[in-house]
Amino acid sequence: MKCNLKKIDPEIANLIVAETKRQRYTLDLIPSENIVSRAILEALGSPLTNKYSEGYPSRRYYAGNTVIDDVEVLAQERARKAFRLGKEWHVNVQPYSGSPANLAVYVGLLKPGEKILGMSLPFGGHLTHGWKVSVTGKFFTAVQYGVNRDGFLDYDEIAVLAKKEKPRIVVAGATAYPRVIDFEQFAKIAHGVGAYLMVDMAHIAGLVAAGAHPSPFPYADIVSTTTHKTLRGPRGAIIFVNKNSKIAADYKIDIASAIDKAVFPGLQGGPHDNQTAAIAVALKEASTPAFKKYGHQIVKNARALARALQKLKFDLVSGGTDNHLMLIDLTNLGISGREAQDRLESVSIITNRNTIPYDTRSPFDPSGIRIGTPSLTTRGMKEREMKLVAGFIHEALIGNNARTVRKKVIVLCKKFPLNN
């Protein structure tokens, strides 16, 4: 059956064209966004979307899932390969996205009201690390840690908090922390109080796969991740479970089975099989030498961008970056995060306003913006282009040459076109 979207639904077709054009002619500096390959788009748009497959490989509630089983098993095997793991790591590739994945871990391992120790949202954590407006902060007792005045995690303070509160799960991971996280220290803290260590590596998964960031796997009991962001795959998530977890053995829990049951049937029905296939494609890409080079270039670009911004007198939280992102404190410029975001969008530079540690402004109009380099690196840009981008940001926020800056941005976009 042949179908032409423009003929069947011209409104949606035109909106897709408009969004494609917007992406083509903007510099995307949002750290959680990236550009997937054509192969991933093909998998997402495949007939796999037609199938329903409640359950797990060889244990489905519907017939006709032989091929789907192969797809899911392949995704699991590729996940282990991408992160250099053995069979002691169980892999669940069914969560629809990162938030349901994190919730599934809590539902599988905790009773309502038991404690989670996670990073506070205003200090760089995620909603699902126990923030009060999230279901994770409503169904469970959340205790939060932050960063010191210099913008760094204080592991001694976190250890004191853990000993006092005795959580059942300690969550390590962030959405707006520009420094390397010491997973070994977190393991000592968590295991020292009889807690699971769960690492949410959603933002840095691609860097870990590339060897551009220390791996959490030698230390964690559970690792969750989204499959987009630096991993450069489709929207989705993976939960890795260490079947040899000493904490799980102490609690006499089959940790892999408990989390699988929390995903299905606990929180969702059948997986999105087209998404699973696209995740498998992304994981194959992440196991290549080219991806390793890409992951290291993300970090090189982020550091180059940070240095260039600092030379232009921008104030960076923690004084720089070790990963793919940075936080700009705009207080000394006298403009808010929302105003900066809007000014930059007017010249086709896409960022997101973000709270900074100890922010006194509203989260709807905070004191900072968060920027990162994954998308620009995917387009092929390197350190030289980062200096140009820093200059564009400076001109847009400090000067009055919006039209000129936008022209420069479009020229750079044309020089480094989208590959999908």
**Is residue 177 flagged as an active site residue?**
no
Q: In the structure encoding, which two tokens stand for residue 135, read together? A: 């279901």
Q: For the chain, first and last CA: distance in Å?
A: 25
- Let me know: does 230 contact 207? Beta carbons within 8 Å: yes
Helix axes 289-311, 383-398, angle to 10 degrees: 40
**Is residue 11 flagged as an active site residue?**
no
Query: Using CA atoms in the order 334, 340, 346, 350, what is the torsion angle rounded to 10 degrees?
Result: 160
**Is residue 52 flagged as an active site residue?**
yes
Of 200, 260, 273, 285, which one is the catalytic site residue? 200
Of 136, 226, 227, 321, which one is the catalytic site residue? 226
Of 51, 80, 81, 235, which one is the catalytic site residue? 235
- Let me know: does 263 contact 314? Beta carbons within 8 Å: no
Helix axes 402-415, 337-346, angle to 10 degrees: 70
DSSP letter assigned to residue 120: -
Of 78, 115, 229, 343, which one is the catalytic site residue? 229
Q: In the structure encoding, which two tokens stand for residue 252, read together? A: 């006499």
Of 33, 51, 54, 307, which one is the catalytic site residue? 54
Of 25, 52, 56, 358, which one is the catalytic site residue? 52
**Is residue 226 flagged as an active site residue?**
yes
Rg (CA), the chain: 22
d(CA 201, CA 290): 21
Catalytic site positions = 52, 54, 200, 226, 229, 235
